Structure 1
Amino acid sequence: MAATIETMGNNLNTDLGLSYLIKPATNTAGKQKALILLHGVGSNEKDLYSLANYLPANYTVISPRGPFVLGEGRFAWYEVDFSSGNPQINAGQEAQSREAIREFIVQVKEKYKLDEVYLGGFSQGAIMSYTIGLTQPELVTGVLAFSGRILQEIRPLVAAPALLKDLRVLIAHGTQDGTLPVHYAREAKTYLEGLNIKPSYHEFNGGHQITGDVLTAVSEWLKV
């Protein structure tokens, strides 16, 4: 399963439930770990895949494509309407994507013989990562949420605190985020603490983005 950044797979794989890009770990000693990265609305699998260079070498990095087509090269996990000032989601599509991601994680674990899977994402990808981690914590070791929020709609489905006790969570959010304001991150932190989850929490002076400092913090957090 060895690969270098220069030869990392840039061809779209279509053998599992979601199409995806994969960069195999270059250090395969010890536990076999992977980080699945979910892109934001209107983006695609290439976006967060570019971060693979900055992540620990013992992680396989996998970046799937959202199932809903918004336009040429633009995909989503569900459609969302911001016109009211508060994001209104297509709940049916969100539920479909939740099941698709669950199935994809199971398939990835089996195909690549993984011991641990972390699930992370940006914006809508962070939202889906929260949802999977909190409702089906047995699937993932940890969640990384970049510029996201925890949906009110999924809170009745959240697992009991006893089942969440080992879930690791990292939150990073810009204080100048105009798309999903930083209060969503602060609310998520408070909500998680109410479930006895103590997230690694990072606010930074920036907008709806992932900064170099955040990537450094993520790389250190993953080295467990």
Structure 2
Amino acid sequence: MLFMLLMTAVSLQTDIYDPQAGAFLDRLPDPDSLFVLADSAYRAGDYQLSASLYLEGLQAQPWNSGSIYNLACCYGLLGRAGLASDYLERAWKAGFDDIVHVRWDPDFDPVRTDPTFSALVDSLEQLAASREEELGEEVIFSATGRFRCRVRLPEGYDGSDPVPLVLGLHGLGDSPEGFMGLWEVVGDYGCIFAVPQAPTPYLVGDRIGYTWYAGEDDSSRTASARQSRDYVLTLLDRLEEVYRISDVYLFGYSQGGGMTYLAGLHAPQRFRAVAPFSGWLDMSVVSEEELAAASGVPVRIVHGEQDRVVDYGSALFADSVLSEAGYDVEFRTFQGQHMFSRDDLKAFLEEFLAD
């Protein structure tokens, strides 16, 4: 009876035929802007403001496990063990599963010995181990398949003249639709913008994203990385068949940044320049011969100094390795955590594509 009364009350409150009934959808916050502001507040040490901004942004992206985790970090730094525990558990439910990272993340040092927080971390470790056991052994194999790629064409493009191609590789859990938002930057340079879907589905909360790496052990992940690298180059073959292309510029973010290194160094003759954003140079995939042979391709490394997902040291390592090998490499940093720098994408395009 109580349930029926509640349903009646709700139905009376909302006129489903009122054109303004869905007006709240127009007032949803812009999560990307709010998360940037939240990160800035975090770096400034204003953890209360950062938490408030993360909470507001998460209203529009409640599945964003990374931002939920960052919110838990804010509460950890504020010494609020209960809230840190609550949001860490919510991050886990949304798809965050790097419990090893939680163990050493200094943001949780103020609450690490709290019984509630400590018990949650122990519980999540047990759940992670149980999940692996229940899933069974993973077997990776190769097969042919069909994959998607989103393509935006410059205004007035009719195929009569070749134009530059900018190829963008999204990060872990993202999709072509999500990464295509960068057309707001790329579209100013009179080029084709192509964003392929990474080959392996990846569950992010209650939605499906995609990953360039697959496998639980090093050997299977290395094999999948090589397959993804070759997939990027096969896609490029297809794009060059369909469109008239002059030069090709490759960039990627996070895991896509790592793939940018792999594809760019494996086939340097295919690219005019490459720019890995917040990625890492996986030397288990790149051979010494490849490294030496690819030194002619310009590399523009971009990485946030406070990155806690792909450590800033990864960029320092890549810069050192490539510089010693004689590459035309520039290392651009920005004040921020694991985030995409549109300003540095614009700088990359300005350097090579500006009239």
Query: Do the aligned residues in 2 keep the contact of 1:164 with 1:195 (CA within 8 Å)?
Result: no
Query: Do the aligned residues in 2 keep the contact of 1:141 with 1:166 (CA within 8 Å)?
Result: no
Counterpart position of 2:213: 78
Query: Do the aligned residues in 2 keep the contact of 1:18 with 1:100 (CA within 8 Å)?
Result: no
Is 1:155 the equivalent of 2:155?
A: no
Query: Of Structure 1 and Structure 2, which has the larger fraction of its residues in helix?
Result: 2
- CA–CA separation in structure 1 for the residues paired with 2:150 and 2:236: 14
- CA–CA separation in structure 2 for the residues paired with 1:169 and 1:182: 17
Shift of residue 154, structure 1, vs aligned partner: 1.9
Is 1:174 the equivalent of 2:304?
A: yes
- CA–CA separation in structure 2 for the residues paired with 1:113 and 1:18: 21
Shift of residue 102, structure 1, vs aligned partner: 1.2
Shift of residue 98, structure 1, vs aligned partner: 1.5
Aligned length: 204
1:1-224 correspondence runs (5 A):
18-26=147-155, 31-55=162-186, 56-71=188-203, 72-79=207-214, 90-156=221-287, 158-159=289-290, 161=292, 163-223=293-353
Query: Do the aligned residues in 2 keep the contact of 1:17 with 1:100 (CA within 8 Å)?
Result: no
What CA deviation, in whole Å up to 9, does each residue of 1:2-32 have, x standing for no partner? xxxxxxxxxxxxxx95311111123769751
Shift of residue 44, structure 1, vs aligned partner: 0.9
Query: Do the aligned residues in 2 keep the contact of 1:174 with 1:203 (CA within 8 Å)?
Result: yes
5+ residue gaps in structure 2? Answer: 1-144
Q: What is the TM-score normalised by the length of structure 2?
A: 0.53
- CA–CA separation in structure 1 for the residues paired with 2:314 and 2:334: 14
- CA–CA separation in structure 1 for the residues paired with 2:220 and 2:333: 25
What CA deviation, in whole Å up to 9, does each residue of 1:127-173 have, x standing for no partner? 11111111111222211100001002123165264x43431211110
- CA–CA separation in structure 2 for the residues paired with 1:207 and 1:122: 13
Query: Do the aligned residues in 2 keep the contact of 1:40 with 1:122 (CA within 8 Å)?
Result: yes
Match of 2:306, SS state, is coil
Greater RCO (CA < 8 Å, at least 6 residues apart): 1
- CA–CA separation in structure 2 for the residues paired with 1:158 and 1:52: 35
- CA–CA separation in structure 2 for the residues paired with 1:158 and 1:70: 33
- CA–CA separation in structure 2 for the residues paired with 1:184 and 1:129: 14
Query: Of Structure 1 and Structure 2, which has the larger fraction of its residues in strand?
Result: 1
- CA–CA separation in structure 2 for the residues paired with 1:149 and 1:37: 16
Q: What is the TM-score normalised by the length of structure 1?
A: 0.81
Matched to 1:201, the amino acid is F
Matched to 2:260, the amino acid is S
Larger mean Cα displacement after TM superposition, 87-96 or 133-142: 87-96
What CA deviation, in whole Å up to 9, does each residue of 1:27-66 have, x standing for no partner? 7697511111011111111222111111242211100101
Match of 1:154, SS state, is coil
Larger mean Cα displacement after TM superposition, 206-215 or 171-180: 206-215
Larger mean Cα displacement after TM superposition, 163-172 or 36-45: 163-172
Shift of residue 198, structure 1, vs aligned partner: 2.2
Query: Do the aligned residues in 2 keep the contact of 1:117 with 1:140 (CA within 8 Å)?
Result: yes
Distance 1:165 1:96, change over 3 A: closer
Structure possessing the higher radius of gyration over alpha carbons = 2
Larger mean Cα displacement after TM superposition, 111-120 or 122-131: 111-120
